[in-house]
């Protein structure tokens, strides 16, 4: 019966439990068996997901679980990104002597959480997936538990995350109270019969939900945790925070706001606009003042998430698919940027100051070139993918009539270009402070090159955008 629709999730859950147990019995020198088993589990899940590709939308578990093109595409993106994170982070974990099985099993549980979020069709499932993801992430941030900054970051993240979850849950319960259902399609029916702008209770529910979502996206003014956690967490975890969950949160927003409350778009548009404007302004301007590279990237994430939300403001298929495209491509670009940070780290400490980038082109020209690609893409320089992502978003926003928002977005991108270009300038025009040579494994370098190639190729070929458009059309 419809159980089969959830085969990838079921497989991943079983495999993760198996890996968890396996790790207990492994001696330290066989640790990498756990690593390979995790990669295998992700690979098989990816194949299963790919095989489940359908043109038709299908429900399972009494309407709790939805399976459509959108979910397949997003799950495949998440799974690929987590796989890449595992490969990237291995040398870092070994250097820090935290190459433990827990890292993999917790990450796999987080992945499972994201998959649940992507396929959720009820408020309950959404919340469950989100909490599975969040709890795993709290643990991951604290992973290097002997490090003071790590635990501090985890503590902040946990407490603030709990507040946000509380607000989200409160909003959900209001919504349930109003509509009498936790199923998104019934909620959509209820909202369709209401006049959103005159129903104060509905607006309250919506506000709390948006605060929760805003926290998970990390948009202003719910962004304060982002720089501290990015800086405090071990670099692989930061990489994880900045990439895959953003896709899952996109899915959640898509399900909640568009799937559940599309007829209330007038209401959530009004609420998203101030968040977006603040994120773009604060994210880009505060990033300029940073000397710490991870913090700089944290602020840059804040502004990029503003862009993703901007796609929702247009409340059109074009806008949603542009937001989806943005979320996926940003995750890929951020992945590469953090991978360079991992490559630059050494046993004495993480590479996290801007100064660590100085003279990279002389120490390792290929890494410098790759980093330049990632930074240029984030700045939105054509023909890299970041440019097209911004272009699609702006197109949707302008055609929805919010020209002034597009103008702000473009102006703030100009401000943002400053700190990306400053990093590139440091790499290419300054003398290195640290003359140590950098060498990484072949798999790391190969993956990084593929990552760089993707940033170029996805921009040149419009196929991913076409795929996003198909997925969005089908899910609505």
Partner 1 sequence: MESIYLAIPLAPLLGAIIAGLFGSKIGRKGAHIVTILGVGIACLLSFYVLKHIAFDGNAFNGNVYTWAAIDGLAFNVGFLIDNLTAMMMVVVTFVSLMVHIYTIGYMEHDEDNWPKGSLVGRHSYQRFFSYISLFTFSMLILVMSNNFMQLFFGWEAVGLVSYLLIGFWSTRETAIFANMKAFLVNRVGDFGFLLGIATVLMYFGSMDYAEVFAKAPEVEGVTMSIFGAEEWSVITVACLLLFVGAMGKSAQVPLHVWLPDSMEGPTPISALIHAATMVTAGIFMVARMSPLFELSTTALSVVLLVGAVTALFMGFIGIIQHDIKRVVAYSTLSQLGYMTVALGASAYGAAVFHLMTHAFFKALLFLAAGSVIIAMHHEQDMRKMGGLKKYMPITYWTSLVGSLALIGFPGFSGFFSKDLIIEAVHASSTPHAQIAYWMVLIGVFVTAFYSFRMFFLVFHGKERMDDHTREHLHESPWVVTVPLIALAIPAVISGYLLYPMVVGDFFKNVIAGVGTEGSLATEMKDHYHGIFAFIAHGLMSLPFWLAISGVGSAWFIYMRKPEIASWFYKHFRWLHTLLDNKYYLDAFNQRVFAGGAIALGKGLWAAGDRCLIDGCMVNGSAWIVKKFSAWSRYLQTGFMYHYAFSMIIGLLGLISWVIYKTNVLGISG
Helix (H) or strand (E) holding 66: strand 65-67
List 415, 417, 438, 467, residue binding partner 1 (CB under 8 A): 415
Assigned token pair, 293: 């590279």
Question: Which window, 5-13, 104-112, 209-217, 335-343, contacts partner 1 (CB under 8 A)?
Answer: 209-217
Closer residue to partner 1 in complex, CB, 87/155: 155
Would you say 206 and 271 are in contact if contact means Cβ atoms under 8 Å apart?
Answer: yes
Report whether 140 contacts 107 (CB < 8 A): yes
Determine contact, residues 193/178, Cβ cutoff 8 Å: no
Cβ neighbours of residue 455 under 8 Å, at least 6 residues apart? Answer: 329, 332, 333, 336, 373, 374, 377, 384, 385, 386
- Beta carbon nearer to partner 1, 160 or 470: 160
Residue 211 makes contact with partner 1 by CB under 8 A: yes
Find the shortest distance in angstroms from Cβ 156 to partner 1.
Answer: 5
Contact (Cβ atoms closer than 8 angstroms) between residue 45 and residue 79: yes
Among 88, 103, 127, 222, interactor with partner 1 by CB under 8 A: 222
Alpha carbons 331 and 357: distance in angstroms, whole number: 21
x-or-dash pattern for partner 1, window 115-144, by CB under 8 A?
Answer: ------------------------------
Q: Is the Cβ–Cβ distance between 59 and 67 less than 8 Å?
A: yes
Q: Does residue 288 touch partner 1 according to CB under 8 A?
A: yes
Measured in residues, the chain has a length of 476
Applying CB under 8 A, which of residues 407, 439, 462, 473 lies at the interface with partner 1?
Answer: 462
- Part in contact with partner 1 (CB under 8 A); list of ranges 117-125, 156-164, 184-192, 437-445: 156-164
State the burial class of residue 160 (Cβ atoms within 10 Å of its Cβ: 0-12, 13-18, 19+).
middle
**Residue 320 exposure: Cα atoms within 13 Å on the Cβ side:** 25
CB atoms within 10 A of CB 188: 18
167 interacts with partner 1 by CB under 8 A: yes
The three-class DSSP label of residue 24 is: helix
C-beta of residue 326 within 8 angstroms of C-beta of residue 409: no
Closest contact distance (angstroms) between CB of 393 and partner 1 is: 17
Query: Which one among 43, 180, 221, 365 touches partner 1, defined by CB under 8 A?
Result: 221
User: Which stretch in 53-61, 211-219, 239-247, 378-386 sits in contact with partner 1 by CB under 8 A?
Assistant: 211-219
Closest CB 206 distance from partner 1, rounded Å: 8
Q: Residue 65 belongs to what H/E stretch?
A: strand 65-67
Q: Which is nearer to partner 1, 109 or 392 (CB)?
A: 392
From 214, 234, 306, 319, residue interacting with partner 1 (rule: CB under 8 A): 214
- Minimum CB–partner distance for residue 224 and partner 1 (Å): 4
Instruction: Give the other-Cβ count within 10 Å of 462's Cβ.
Output: 13
Under the binding rule (CB under 8 A), the answer on residue 282 touching partner 1 is: yes
Helices then strands (H, E): number in the chain? 20, 2
Q: Does 207 participate in binding partner 1 (rule CB under 8 A)? A: yes
Q: How far apart are CB 295 and partner 1 at their closest, in Å?
A: 9
313 binds partner 1 (CB under 8 A): no
Among 129, 264, 267, 459, binds partner 1 (CB under 8 A): 267
Does 173 interact with partner 1 (rule: CB under 8 A)?
no
Q: How far is CA 266 from CA 237, 313, 348, in A?
A: 37, 9, 53
Q: Which stretch binds partner 1 (CB under 8 A): 13-21, 219-227, 246-254, 310-318?
A: 219-227
Give just the sign of the alpha carbon dihedral 143, 81, 286, 430: positive
Q: Which of 25, 55, 97, 198 binds partner 1 (CB under 8 A)?
A: 198
Residue 204 found at the interface with partner 1 (CB under 8 A): yes
Q: How far is the CB of 358 from partner 1 (least distance, A)?
A: 21
Chain CA centroid to CA 246, Å: 2
Counting contacts by CB under 8 A, is residue 383 touching partner 1? no
Specify the residue, 127 or 419, whose C-beta has the smaller distance to partner 1: 419
Among positions 335-364, residues that touch partner 1 (CB under 8 A) are none
Burial 126-159 (b: 16+ CB within 10 A, else e): bbbbbbbbbbbbbbbbbbbeebeebbebbebbbe
Residue with tokens 């069709």: 121
Question: Given candidates 88, 127, 138, 225, which one binds partner 1 under the rule CB under 8 A?
Answer: 225
Q: Which residues here bind partner 1, judged by CB under 8 A? A: 155-156, 159-160, 163-164, 167, 197-198, 200, 203-204, 206-208, 210-211, 214-215, 220-222, 224-225, 227-228, 267, 270-271, 274-275, 282, 285-289, 415, 462
């Amino acid at each position: 019966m419809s159980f089969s629709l959830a085969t990838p999730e079921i497989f991943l859950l079983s495999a993760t439990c198996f890996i968890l147990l396996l790790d207990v019995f492994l001696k330290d020198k066989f640790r990498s068996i756990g690593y390979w088993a995790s990669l295998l589990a992700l690979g098989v899940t990816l194949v299963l997901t790919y095989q489940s590709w359908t043109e038709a939308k299908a429900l399972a578990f009494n309407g709790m679980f939805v399976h459509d093109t959108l979910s397949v595409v997003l799950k495949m993106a998440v799974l690929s990104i987590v796989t890449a994170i595992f490969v990237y982070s291995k040398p870092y974990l070994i250097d820090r002597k935290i190459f433990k099985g827990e890292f993999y099993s917790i990450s796999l549980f987080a992945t499972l959480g994201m998959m649940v979020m992507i396929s959720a069709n009820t408020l309950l499932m959404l919340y469950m997936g989100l909490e599975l993801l969040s709890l795993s992430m709290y643990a991951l941030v604290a992973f290097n538990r002997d490090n003071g900054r790590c635990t501090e970051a985890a503590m902040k993240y946990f407490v603030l995350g709990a507040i946000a979850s509380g607000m989200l849950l409160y909003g959900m319960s209001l919504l349930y109270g109003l509509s009498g259902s936790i199923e998104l399609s019934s909620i959509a029916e209820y909202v369709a019969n209401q006049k959103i702008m005159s129903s104060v209770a509905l607006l309250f529910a919506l506000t709390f939900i948006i605060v929760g979502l805003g926290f998970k996206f990390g948009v202003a003014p719910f962004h304060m945790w982002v720089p501290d956690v990015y800086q405090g967490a071990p670099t692989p975890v930061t990489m994880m925070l900045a990439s895959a969950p953003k896709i899952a949160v996109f899915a959640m927003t898509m399900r909640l706001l568009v799937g559940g409350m599309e007829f209330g778009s007038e209401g959530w548009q009004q609420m998203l606009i101030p968040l977006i404007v603040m994120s773009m302004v604060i994210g880009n301007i505060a990033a300029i003042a940073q000397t710490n590279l991870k913090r700089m990237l944290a602020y840059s994430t804040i502004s990029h998430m503003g862009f993703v939300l901007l796609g929702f403001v247009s409340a059109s298929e074009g806008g949603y698919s542009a937001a989806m495209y943005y979320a996926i491509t940003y995750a890929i670009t951020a992945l590469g940027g953090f991978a360079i940070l991992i490559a630059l780290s050494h046993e004495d400490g993480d590479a996290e100051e801007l100064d660590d980038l100085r003279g990279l082109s002389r120490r390792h020209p290929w890494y410098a070139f790759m980093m330049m690609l990632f930074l240029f893409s984030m700045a939105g320089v054509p023909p890299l993918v970041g440019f097209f992502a911004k272009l699609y978003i702006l197109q949707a926003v302008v055609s929805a009539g919010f020209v002034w928002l597009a103008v702000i977005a473009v102006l703030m991108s100009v401000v943002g270009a400053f700190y990306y270009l400053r990093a590139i300038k440091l790499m290419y025009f300054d003398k290195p402070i640290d003359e140590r040579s950098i060498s990484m494994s072949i798999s790391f370098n190969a993956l990084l090159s593929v990552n760089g190639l993707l940033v170029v190729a996805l921009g040149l070929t419009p196929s991913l955008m076409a795929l996003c458009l198909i997925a969005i059309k089908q899910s609505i």
